[in-house]
Structure 1
Amino acid sequence: MTEPFQAPPVPPIPVPDVAGADATARGLPRRVDLTWQQRLVVDASAIADLGLRTTIASIVGAAMLPRLAGAAWHPSRVATEEHALDFYLDLAAKHDPELSFPAPTAAARVSSRPANPVATWMAHGEVRNLRFQSSFEAINPALRDQRRGYTRNNVVHAQHWVHKDGPHPTLCVIHGFMGSPYLLNGLFFALPWFYRSGYDVLLYTLPFHGPRAEKGSPYSGYGYFADGMAGFAEAMAQAVHDFRSVLDYLEHTGVDRIALTGMSLGGYTSALIASVDDRIQAVIPNVPVVTPEAAFDDWFPANKLVSLGNRITRVDKAKSDAATMFHSPLNYQPLIPRDRRLIIAGLGDRLAPPQQAEILWKHWDRCAFHWFPGNHILHVSQPDYLRRMTRFLHPFMF
């Protein structure tokens, strides 16, 4: 097996070599604690991230428009929204992950075929594309017929990098919103480096992304927000359910050590899964959002559309925020031991502000916490946190 502490590759996006560090017992550093180089990078990357945030917020806002128009023209839908809100609010109040996210009851019939030559070239090994029919049923019975109708979304996709000498400890990766291409994630997360270090790698495709996007979707991920708050809740529930089917498949093939990481929406999902399934040896949310309703408050113009939607449907914002706790990792206790949790945050991130990661850190009993001075996309000093991830994972995985 290749030495796990070898030097990581140069990141695919050239970035300044300005190091981050682990958080202290107090949490993230104050501005005065940073060097002038770190302050410069944080400020510059934060300004750059504002443009990205506005773009993403505009895309999310556009997905909400048909729903808002329907509510305005059909007042009867207001009652439907209110019932959905009450349903998720009641579930959230129980703080019971088994009730909120029931496990799959039957093993998935997974088909596996060789991936394209580009994937094989990038991994320098055997790569398989997996797919299977999702067994997910909407948590809210009133939405089951609607969710069954999303035929493309209900076929689960993943890519599996495997070694020929049998199953290895496996690193599972969950992409961010709109960021589903396997090639993109392989390069961004330096997955060939992890593969050469002895890991099998599995890249999981979230609902409504990539090949799971329904026909006519204007972009990958559109379906996450197209059905309003209830649709987002069900998409998160399906993301957890389908990933648990992936865990079943990995166990069936002989894998006995699994680590999970994810970025942004994938970080949010990985943190939630860590509160639902105890078969994961370690979890590493990367630039996660953990209170989406609070993050949206700063996402212009999506925040204005959410506010308009609440007025049209006469929904109380405090009640709506409480209902979103149904799928927040803050609503449940983690099942992964404290010493197997690591959170990564960017101080210049304005799409998933570092305060979001700090909230999760406090909920997770002040576990390991690493920061870098970049933003949501530009992960300055990424080789540092790749080494940090490797040192963190090695005792549990090998």
Structure 2
Amino acid sequence: MGSSAEAEPVDPPIPVPDVPGADAGERGLPDRSELTLTQRLIVDASAVADLGLRTGVASLVGGAMLPPVVAGVLRGSNLRQEREHLRFYADLAAEHDAAKSFPAPIAEPRVSVKPANAVARWVAHGNVEHVQFQSSYEALNPDMRNLWRGLNRNNVVHAQHWRHDDGPHPTLCVIHGFLGSPYLFNGLFFSLPWFYRTGFDVLLYTLPFHGRRAERYSPFSGYGFFSNGMAGMAEAMAQAVHDFRSILDYLESTGVEKIALTGMSLGGYTSALIASADDRLQAVIPNVPVVNPESAFDDWWPANKLVEFGRYASGITREEAFASSAFHSPLTYAPKVPKDRRLIITGLGDRLAPPEQAEALWEHWDRCQLHWFPGNHILHVSQPEYLRRMTKFLAPLMF
């Protein structure tokens, strides 16, 4: 990768204290007693700050969940139908067969490519294109297909592609988190200009119902992920995997030979799930991922109250809900990316995606590489350190 690979990452957009984290040991993440006093202070302070963020995000999720829950209460048949839907996904999960749960796209996408805006080119200091194509996804659950076919904006896939003029180069793909779809934010947050300068092409993928894929009149980016009930969330996750596999088809058609994937939060969850469905990834790096959403929802007030009420009104037990959400959990499937090509990153002060979620994925992934930092979901303390850790991990695999 040349000498530029050893350069410092650009300064993160949010100034943070330089308090280093470390790789996890054989027993996993460190006990509190093993942290330095400064690390403990940072973890505690960032955890408190994250509680406010979690409440805000949970309020938005709860707002998106409210319409289907109210409609279900007013029309009892809707809740009975939701229960039947959840059984459908629970049955798929019980087979632990990623090929059946996430079938590959049948045909390569017909891609439209045009130059991205001037701001994107300025951030990258290079050639940036906007990629879009019609999604070939069809809802797995036959009862959801009519709804899904009518999601016109969501069914157009969007991505931003940073390409070198002498390409194609090994490509780092990035998946954003819930609410966090703007390309500019992700480019700066992940120091993508630095990765680009070190020789990577970069592709930023937009999740279903986010950004330009949000349906008309959606109150916020990502609203549709939760506004169609838990069955809708299952289909949204399945479409996220399907459409990204079409992105892989597109990249391969342009001559790209090596592709790595990282993602933050919901993007980390999605990246771990993609690594269970497709063997073409050279490496995967889930960053602050949720991997068991039902257990995460238990702490997400006020969304957790709506989830509990929805279960109660439809006669769904907690166990049934967990069995259904296992359909889109990476803990349900064996990873297709080899162990030495998996790296998980987590924040010890994270309360949106608690480090226990990352540790559960680490256990499922045969205790692969796990790096922690003493920050929360958004404040990634000593982020340049883990960006260097990512580069050290990726360099021999990609170049």
TM class by smaller structure: over 0.9
Equivalent position of 1:21 in the other structure: 22
Instruction: Give distance in 2, aligned partners of 1:233 and 1:199.
Output: 32
Equivalent position of 1:389 in the other structure: 390
Verify the 8 A CA contact 1:175 1:206 in the aligned structure 2. Answer: yes
The AA in structure 1 aligned to 2:159 is A
Verify the 8 A CA contact 1:347 1:353 in the aligned structure 2. Answer: yes
Verify the 8 A CA contact 1:347 1:373 in the aligned structure 2. Answer: yes
The SS at the match of 1:131 is strand
Residue 2 of structure 1, CA deviation: 4.6
Equivalent position of 1:331 in the other structure: 332
Instruction: Give distance in 1, aligned partners of 2:6 and 2:295.
Output: 38
Verify the 8 A CA contact 1:285 1:342 in the aligned structure 2. Answer: yes
Equivalent position of 1:153 in the other structure: 154
Instruction: Give distance in 1, aligned partners of 2:386 and 2:124.
Output: 21
Q: Does 1:143 align with 2:144?
A: yes
Q: Does 1:97 align with 2:94?
A: no
Equivalent position of 1:370 in the other structure: 371
Verify the 8 A CA contact 1:97 1:275 in the aligned structure 2. Answer: yes
Equivalent position of 1:242 in the other structure: 243
The SS at the match of 1:307 is helix
Instruction: Give distance in 2, aligned partners of 1:197 and 1:160.
Output: 16
Residue 83 of structure 1, CA deviation: 1.1
The SS at the match of 2:132 is strand
Instruction: Give distance in 1, aligned partners of 2:159 and 2:223.
Output: 19
Instruction: Give distance in 2, aligned partners of 1:121 and 1:327.
Output: 37
Instruction: Give distance in 2, aligned partners of 1:22 and 1:5.
Output: 20
Cα root mean square deviation, aligned: 0.6
Task: Mark the runs of 5 or more structure 1 residues left unpaired by the alignment.
Answer: none
Query: How is 1:158-237 mapped onto 2 (pairs within 5 angstroms)?
Result: 158-237=159-238
Equivalent position of 2:12 in the other structure: 11
Verify the 8 A CA contact 1:5 1:391 in the aligned structure 2. Answer: no
Instruction: Give distance in 1, aligned partners of 2:41 and 2:321.
Output: 38
Residue 101 of structure 1, CA deviation: 0.4
Equivalent position of 1:299 in the other structure: 300
Using the size of structure 2 for normalisation, the TM-score is: 0.99
Verify the 8 A CA contact 1:2 1:196 in the aligned structure 2. Answer: no
Instruction: Give distance in 2, aligned partners of 1:166 and 1:365.
Output: 35
Verify the 8 A CA contact 1:43 1:348 in the aligned structure 2. Answer: yes
Residue 331 of structure 1, CA deviation: 0.2
Query: How is 1:245-264 mapped onto 2 (pairs within 5 angstroms)?
Result: 245-264=246-265
The SS at the match of 1:312 is helix
Residue 311 of structure 1, CA deviation: 1.1
Residue 79 of structure 1, CA deviation: 2.0
Q: Does 1:131 align with 2:147?
A: no
Residue 278 of structure 1, CA deviation: 0.3
The SS at the match of 2:290 is coil
The AA in structure 2 aligned to 1:291 is N
Query: 1:214-250, CA deviations, whole angstroms, 9 ceiling, x for partnerless residues?
Result: 0010000000000111000000000000000000000
Equivalent position of 2:279 in the other structure: 278
Instruction: Give distance in 2, aligned partners of 1:18 and 1:258.
Output: 31
Using the size of structure 1 for normalisation, the TM-score is: 0.99
Instruction: Give distance in 2, aligned partners of 1:25 and 1:118.
Output: 44
Verify the 8 A CA contact 1:260 1:284 in the aligned structure 2. Answer: yes
The AA in structure 1 aligned to 2:70 is A
Instruction: Give distance in 2, aligned partners of 1:350 and 1:5.
Output: 33
Query: 1:181-213, CA deviations, whole angstroms, 9 ceiling, x for partnerless residues?
Result: 000000000000000000000000000000000
Instruction: Give distance in 2, aligned partners of 1:28 and 1:90.
Output: 33
The SS at the match of 2:345 is strand
Residue 78 of structure 1, CA deviation: 2.2
Instruction: Give distance in 2, aligned partners of 1:175 and 1:369.
Output: 20
Equivalent position of 1:64 in the other structure: 65
Counting aligned pairs with the same residue, the percent is 69
Instruction: Give distance in 1, aligned partners of 2:125 and 2:2.
Output: 14
Verify the 8 A CA contact 1:159 1:204 in the aligned structure 2. Answer: yes
Residue 58 of structure 1, CA deviation: 0.4
The SS at the match of 1:167 is coil
Equivalent position of 1:357 in the other structure: 358
Verify the 8 A CA contact 1:42 1:375 in the aligned structure 2. Answer: yes
Task: Mark the runs of 5 or more structure 2 residues left unpaired by the alignment.
Answer: none
Residue 126 of structure 1, CA deviation: 0.1
The SS at the match of 1:226 is coil
Equivalent position of 1:345 in the other structure: 346
The AA in structure 2 aligned to 1:78 is L
State the aligned residue count.
Answer: 398
Residue 314 of structure 1, CA deviation: 1.2
- Ranges of 4+ aligned residues in structure 1 off by more than 2 Å: none
Query: 1:120-176, CA deviations, whole angstroms, 9 ceiling, x for partnerless residues?
Result: 000000000000000000010111010010000000000000000020000000000
The AA in structure 2 aligned to 1:94 is E
